[in-house]
C-alpha cells in the first residue's frame, strides 16, 4: 500500500469516527486530491522562456 493510500484511509477513518457523513468525507477527499494536483502542477518544470 502506498503512503498516499495510507494517508487517505487514515483520514477517512478519522472522519468516520467523528461521525462525518459519507458525502462530507467525499468532499474532503476531493478537496485533498485537488490540492495535491495543484501542488504537482506548481512543481512541474516550466518551459525555457526567460531562462538564458
pLDDT exceeds 50 at position 52: no
Q: What is the predicted pLDDT for the residue at 17? A: 96
Cβ atoms of residues 24 and 14 within 8 Å: no
- CB burial of 11-44 (b: ≥16 within 10 Å; e: otherwise) equals ebeebeeeeeeeeebeeeeeeeeeeeeeeeeeee
Collapsing DSSP to helix, strand or coil, 20 comes out as coil
Give the model's confidence band at 19: pLDDT under 50 very low, under 70 low, under 90 confident, else very high.
very high
Give the model's confidence band at 48: pLDDT under 50 very low, under 70 low, under 90 confident, else very high.
low
Distance CA 9, CA 45 (A): 30
What is the rounded average pLDDT of the residues 3-19? 91
pLDDT exceeds 90 at position 42: no
22 or 47, greater pLDDT: 22
The full length of the chain comes to: 52
Amino acid at each position: 500500500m502506498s503512503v498516499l493510500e495510507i494517508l487517505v484511509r487514515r483520514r477517512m477513518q478519522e472522519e468516520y469516527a467523528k461521525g462525518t457523513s459519507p458525502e462530507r468525507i467525499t468532499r474532503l477527499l476531493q478537496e485533498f486530491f485537488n490540492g495535491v494536483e495543484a501542488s504537482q502542477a506548481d512543481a512541474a518544470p516550466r518551459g525555457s522562456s526567460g531562462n538564458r
